[in-house]
Amino acid sequence: MQTMFALVWNNEVRKLFCQSQRVMRVIWVAAMVGSLGALVFLVDPDDAQPHRILVDTDADTDDVFALFYLLKQDSTRFDLQAITINANGWSEAGHAINHVYDILFMMGRDDIPVGVGGEGGILPNGTILPNVGGFQPIIDQGMSTAGECRYRQAIPVAQRGRLDVNSNYGLRKAFLPQGSRRYTPLQQPTAQQVMIDAISSGPITVFLMGAHTNFAIFLMSNPHLKKNVKHVYAMGGSVRPNCPKINSSDSSGECSDIGNLYPQDSNPYAEFNIFSDPFAAYKVLHFGIPVTLIPLDATNTIPLSKSFFMEFERRQNTYEAKYSFQALKIIRDTWLSDAFHEQYCMWDSFLVGVALSIIRNSHNLYGENEFAEMQYMNITVVTSNEPYGALDGSNPLITGYSTPRFNVQKNGVHSGHVQMGMQDPFCLQKGKGKCQDGYTKEGTGEDAVRVLVATKAKPNHDNRSILGREFYKSFLHVINSPERTGRFDIRTQYPFHREFLYKPDFGKKIRGKPVVFDMDMSAGDFLALLYLLKLPVELINLKGILISSTGWATPATIDVVYDILHMMARDDIPVGLGEAFAVGQANPSFAAIGDCKYSKAIPHGSGGYLDSDTLYGLARDLPRSPRRVYTLLEDTQAMSMTIAKEMFSLFPQINMQNLTCFLIL
């Protein structure tokens, strides 16, 4: 919506500027804040050829570590063929694609195709049209890319979540070099097309580092290509609680937190990757392709220990090591509790380590590998809650259809209550929530599939080393290896690149009407911003910009605003980031997450977030501003204060009587 209203005061702005005469209150939110047997080849027939690999990722920071670990392998052995972006997890498609392109450029791998998005839909009768973008969990996918946030609302939108991941804590633009690839509207290879191309051209191994949406849609619409998928390795799920065996007051003897959603009062069983699309994970698991799972059971045993962190700090011999360590350091320094070294684990990088080691030892029947202990388990993925066949309107596979979608059974495992967000009254229960959607549950019935599961990270062979796990050693060795290393960072790519703030000198010019501009960062808003910046300062004096991130772009796109101001030599104009949620949508017990009652109307694909987050791909051409998300980051306090300070700096100069506000919606 790109209508411009002059002199419109909506509640937020009135609150901000009128009350501010009495009490200076800032409305930004500190939004809290981020095989059936390892394919038994006694003589591996394609040992001589490289193992072709496809990665599906949501480009979270630990996915980045995993990508580096994989890209640094000898490509005559492990050849990364293609990357697809999982667009309903911890990042936004438009930011994730930029991030992945930057990483591949640094690593000299612009040859690897990257697929993102797609405008296809799923018909009411379950027919999957080509190029579904994977912005929605499969059960909620209709004909458009707009929709509910049933599962994704578990992921924080701003700080501690998607804002951090999309910008990699402001580090992406400060560090990574820039190549020529960019998101191109209408011509961008879609996630499905890239999967089809990579998988149809020969046997391939698939690594799933996010939700299983893209890959499940691929399998459901191209079952004939299943034969080319040798094996699926997935990081996700949580099978057996591995909490200490102490007497618990809970007579069931179960651990209270098997999963890692927060808060746990609706669903204590699910892990994020699986929870983001349980039906997709079920489909992948039950498709008859050998699956190896690296669940929390194993990753919890390989946290980013203090000694590993210190050793990493000491060993940063490559650009990729520097980039990874700097990101890790920011995460540690901004961690909410003192328990970073226990709580932050090697998730996706451990998946890649274990998978490559299993492939190297592919003559072993039981997935023996250097890094993890493995065990076969019979598991399934819970997609709905008992009682089955309940028609309470929560289940989009059943509700409103005479024949349920995707041929699921009317009284089968997919027919129960499906969790409707983190505040679903059916699930909420004090202490321990009762929904199990996304739980990778052990079963004995015929609905359970035999899967190789990593249960524990192996200790370091060298018991004198300070690095307690075998994989710590491998990770640091690989990421610091001088072979296949990153070519440069932004400063070495452009030796004359300086971080300089351009501020105009208006001399004795008489300033015109002071204006504050409130925008939501859709393309039309940028046109309006440029227009305001082009007007003579004697006429319009742009005092500040307020960003509302509840509209057509996501919070991390604030960097595009900074870059435009930089290009226009107006680094003097303060920019403030507003609330992450519309009024009343934040979760009452954990304000970093919340519902999408209104924003669900905005498409995720073309014409929506994907286009505005990248400014139709054009934002890549803007000069990089030294101002960006979290520039002044020093600690948690500073992180919130960065934006707050800029907001405060709006006030002193402003005369409330004759302030003009433009609200661009």
Ligand X SMILES: *[C@@H]1O[C@H](CO)[C@@H](O)[C@H](O)[C@H]1NC(C)=O
Q: Which ranges constitute the DSSP H helices of 334-372? A: 340-343, 348-360
Q: What is the largest CA-CA distance in the chain?
A: 83
Phi/psi for 82 (5° steps) reads -165, 155
Does residue 540 touch ligand X according to CB under 6 A? Answer: no
| One residue of 463, 482, 536, 652 binding ligand X per CB under 6 A | 463
Closest CB 378 distance from ligand X, rounded Å: 4
Choose the stretch contacting ligand X; rule: CB under 6 A; options: 50-58, 62-70, 122-130, 515-523: 122-130
| One residue of 240, 484, 513, 600 binding ligand X per CB under 6 A | 513
Nearer to ligand X, 123 or 530 (CB): 123
| One residue of 75, 144, 378, 493 binding ligand X per CB under 6 A | 378
Does residue 291 touch ligand X according to CB under 6 A? Answer: no
- Angle between the N-to-C axes of helices 213-221 and 191-200, in degrees from 0 to 180, rounded to the nearest 10: 60
Nearer to ligand X, 402 or 463 (CB): 463
Does residue 600 touch ligand X according to CB under 6 A? Answer: no
Closest among 40, 11, 12 to 26, alpha carbons compared: 12
**CB of 204 within 8 A of CB of 226?**
no
Give the number of other CB atoms < 10 A from CB of residue 621: 11
Using DSSP's 3-state secondary structure scheme, residue 472 falls into helix
Does residue 7 touch ligand X according to CB under 6 A? Answer: no
Give the number of other CB atoms < 10 A from CB of residue 185: 15
Say whether the peptide bond before residue 495 is cis (omega within 30 degrees of 0).
Answer: no
Choose the stretch contacting ligand X; rule: CB under 6 A; options: 46-54, 55-63, 133-141, 652-660: 652-660
Does residue 409 touch ligand X according to CB under 6 A? Answer: no
Nearer to ligand X, 445 or 584 (CB): 445
**CB of 523 within 8 A of CB of 486?**
no
Closest CB 446 distance from ligand X, rounded Å: 8
Choose the stretch contacting ligand X; rule: CB under 6 A; options: 261-269, 326-334, 370-378, 418-426: 370-378
Closest CB 127 distance from ligand X, rounded Å: 4
Closest CB 258 distance from ligand X, rounded Å: 18
Closest CB 613 distance from ligand X, rounded Å: 32
Nearer to ligand X, 44 or 442 (CB): 442
Closest CB 653 distance from ligand X, rounded Å: 11
Residue 171 sits at the vertex; the CA angle it makes with 170 and 176, to the nearest 5 degrees, is: 130
Does residue 252 touch ligand X according to CB under 6 A? Answer: no
Residue window 82-121: x/- pattern of binding to ligand X, with contact defined by CB under 6 A:
----------------------------------------
HSE-CB at 280 with a 13 A cutoff on CA atoms is 30
Q: How far is CA 451 from CA 286, 288, 463, 560, in A?
A: 10, 11, 31, 45
Q: Which ranges constitute the DSSP H helices of 242-347? A: 272-275, 278-285, 296-299, 306-314, 319-333, 340-343
Does residue 339 touch ligand X according to CB under 6 A? Answer: no
Token pair of 58, please? 């949501």
Q: Which ranges constitute the DSSP H helices of 347-479? A: 348-360, 470-479
Does residue 247 touch ligand X according to CB under 6 A? Answer: yes
| One residue of 18, 123, 391, 530 binding ligand X per CB under 6 A | 123
Nearer to ligand X, 180 or 657 (CB): 657
Does residue 251 touch ligand X according to CB under 6 A? Answer: no
Convert 354-393 to b/e letters by CB count within 10 Å (16 or more is b). bbbbbbbebeeeebebbbbbbbebbbbbbbbbeebebeee
Closest CB 126 distance from ligand X, rounded Å: 7
Nearer to ligand X, 251 or 657 (CB): 657
Nearer to ligand X, 447 or 572 (CB): 447
Does residue 249 touch ligand X according to CB under 6 A? Answer: no
**CB of 206 within 8 A of CB of 39?**
no
Number of H helices, E strands in the chain: 20, 16
Does residue 246 touch ligand X according to CB under 6 A? Answer: yes
Choose the stretch contacting ligand X; rule: CB under 6 A; options: 212-220, 379-387, 495-503, 651-659: 651-659
Closest CB 307 distance from ligand X, rounded Å: 15
Q: Where does 71-190 show beta strands of DSSP type E?
A: 78-85, 114-115
| One residue of 3, 11, 21, 125 binding ligand X per CB under 6 A | 125
Burial class of residue 483 in the structure, from the number of CB atoms within 10 Å of its CB (0-12 exposed, 13-18 middle, 19+ buried): exposed
Closest CB 295 distance from ligand X, rounded Å: 15
Does residue 450 touch ligand X according to CB under 6 A? Answer: yes
**Total number of residues binding ligand X (CB under 6 A)?**
14
Contact positions vs ligand X (CB under 6 A): 123, 125, 127, 246-247, 376-378, 450, 463, 513, 655, 657-658
